[in-house]
């Protein structure tokens, strides 16, 4: 039979393997199943499989390797967004993807001097917030400076957010368990600005003191029934692509 009619399209097949790669179930160098195995798994045609593999190759997720067939490609220049990372944790329970780590976990209580963060949290400028900061690394290289800006009512329910070092489990899960309030995630908002000296140092970017280095910044706001609870600010190293 040349064509099958399972209702599954090439985009569905590509999405399945894209998720496995992004979640670290498949790592660079791992072979993808053969065309026939994929046909049998999804009950699709060879043409559908070919289109799905072409999509993965065009995205830089896969590459042809002769007798090895199609393998997962190395992608050192692509990192996951905070939202994608959270989705992966919820799907798999794993904090990190393949080759990913985090360092420099710091917690502090500070006056919020950023009007954008204050507006997103629904507080007055210079009100106190809890800030948690860490640096994500991909294959040992700094990729993202990540800030969690937490409303003080989050600290009231989960005082552990002021602890230094990596916090486990995810503090929002503890917040829901203790308060009974579900936390929902708003859409990501992307902007660009010039990196601060501290951000460049954390990302290990060498630049003259007078240089202006643009960086991509993503903001994600989390809410519960009482309003904004947390804002994530992710600052990406120059030259990196984000993986949504």
CB 153 within 8 A of CB 240: no
CATH, domain range 97-243: 3.40.1410.10
Q: Which stretch of 70-84, 128-142, 205-219 has the lowest confidence by average pLDDT?
A: 70-84
Torsion angles phi and psi, residue 11, rounded to 5:
-65, -35
The residues of the chain that CATH labels 1.10.10.10 are 10-72
Where residue 189 falls among pLDDT bands split at 50, 70, 90?
very high
Higher pLDDT, 103 or 90: 103
Q: Is the model's pLDDT at 231 over the cut of 60?
A: yes
- First-last CA distance in the chain: 37
Q: Is 21 left (phi over 0), alpha (psi -120 to 50) or beta?
A: alpha
User: What sections of the chain are H helices per DSSP?
Assistant: 10-22, 35-42, 46-58, 82-92, 115-121, 152-157, 171-179, 197-202
Residue with the bigger pLDDT between 239 and 143: it is 143
**Cα–Cα distance between 22 and 4 in angstroms, integer?**
28
10-72 fold: Arc Repressor Mutant, subunit A (1.10.10)
pTM of the model: 0.77
User: Per residue in 1-23, pLDDT tens?
Assistant: 344 445 789 999 999 999 898 88
> How far apart, in whole angstroms, are the C-alpha atoms of residue 49 and residue 193?
41
Rg, C-alpha atoms of the chain: 21
Mean pLDDT of 24-44: 93
Residue in 182, 160, 183, 198 with CA at minimum distance from that of residue 232: 183
Q: Does the pLDDT at position 206 exceed 80?
A: yes
Q: pLDDT digit string (tens) for 112-165?
A: 999 999 999 999 999 999 999 999 998 899 999 999 999 999 999 999 999 999
Q: Chain-wide mean pLDDT for the chain?
A: 90
- The CATH 3.40.1410.10 portion of the chain extends over 97-243
Query: What phi, psi does 206 have (nearest 5°)?
Result: -90, 120
């Amino acid at each position: 039979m040349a064509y099958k009619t399972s209702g599954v399209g090439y985009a569905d097949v590509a999405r399945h393997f894209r998720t496995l790669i992004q979640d670290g179930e498949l790592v660079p160098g791992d072979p993808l199943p053969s065309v026939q195995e994929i046909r049998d798994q999804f009950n699709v045609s060879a043409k559908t499989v070919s289109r799905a593999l072409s999509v993965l190759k065009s995205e830089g997720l896969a590459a042809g390797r002769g007798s090895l067939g199609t393998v997962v490609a190395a992608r050192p220049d692509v990192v996951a967004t905070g939202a994608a990372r959270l989705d992966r944790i919820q799907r798999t329970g794993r904090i990190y993807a393949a080759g990913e780590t985090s360092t420099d976990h710091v917690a502090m209580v500070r006056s919020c001097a950023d009007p954008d963060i204050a507006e997103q949290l629904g507080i007055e400028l210079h009100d106190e917030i809890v800030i948690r900061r860490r640096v994500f690394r991909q294959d040992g290289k700094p990729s993202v400076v990540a800030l969690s800006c937490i409303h003080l009512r989050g600290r009231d329910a989960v005082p552990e957010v002021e602890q230094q070092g990596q916090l486990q489990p995810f503090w929002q899960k503890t917040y829901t368990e203790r308060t009974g309030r579900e936390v929902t995630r708003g859409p990501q908002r992307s902007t660009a600005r010039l990196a601060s000296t501290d951000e460049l140092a954390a990302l290990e970017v060498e630049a003259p003191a007078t240089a202006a280095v643009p960086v991509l910044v993503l903001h994600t706001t989390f809410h519960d029934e009482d309003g904004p609870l947390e804002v994530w600010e992710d600052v990406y190293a120059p030259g990196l692509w984000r993986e949504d």
